[in-house]
């Protein structure tokens, strides 16, 4: 599935014409990108959480040669899927 397939789904579900559905998808992704850029997390119940984490710093090694490489500071994105996203299971312990 690619972006254009999602655009088709939006066209159908919201009765939008294609340019409008395309705009909706682009705006949605842009809002998410802008938010992640500020280092904020995006929490989407029932889907998952996008987190921005600081990268480890220190000394890394090339495992093959043993050569030491400094790890640069920086930030990465992690996605933690909701437990129920594919199974419909809430992940809550049985009571």
Which residues contribute to the site for other proteins (CB under 8 A)?
1-3, 5-6, 9-10, 13-14, 23-25, 27-29, 31-33, 35-48, 50, 52, 74-77, 79, 81, 85-86
Extract the tokens encoding 87: 């199974």
What is the bridge-based pairing of β-strands 48-54 and 75-81?
antiparallel
Find the shortest distance in angstroms from Cβ 65 to other proteins. Answer: 26
Find the shortest distance in angstroms from Cβ 15 to other proteins. Answer: 10
Beta-carbon contacts of residue 25 (< 8 Å; ≥ 6 apart): 3, 6, 7, 10
DSSP class of 91: -
Find the shortest distance in angstroms from Cβ 59 to other proteins. Answer: 20
């Amino acid at each position: 599935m690619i972006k254009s397939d999602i655009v088709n789904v939006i066209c159908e579900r919201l009765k939008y014409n294609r340019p409008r559905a395309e705009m909706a998808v682009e705006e949605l992704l842009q809002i998410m990108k802008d938010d992640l850029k500020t280092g904020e997390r995006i929490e989407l119940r029932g889907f998952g959480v996008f987190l921005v984490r600081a990268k480890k710093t220190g000394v890394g090694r090339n495992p093959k040669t043993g050569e030491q490489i400094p790890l640069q500071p920086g930030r990465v994105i992690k996605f933690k899927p909701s437990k129920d996203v594919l199974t419909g299971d809430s992940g809550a312990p049985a009571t």
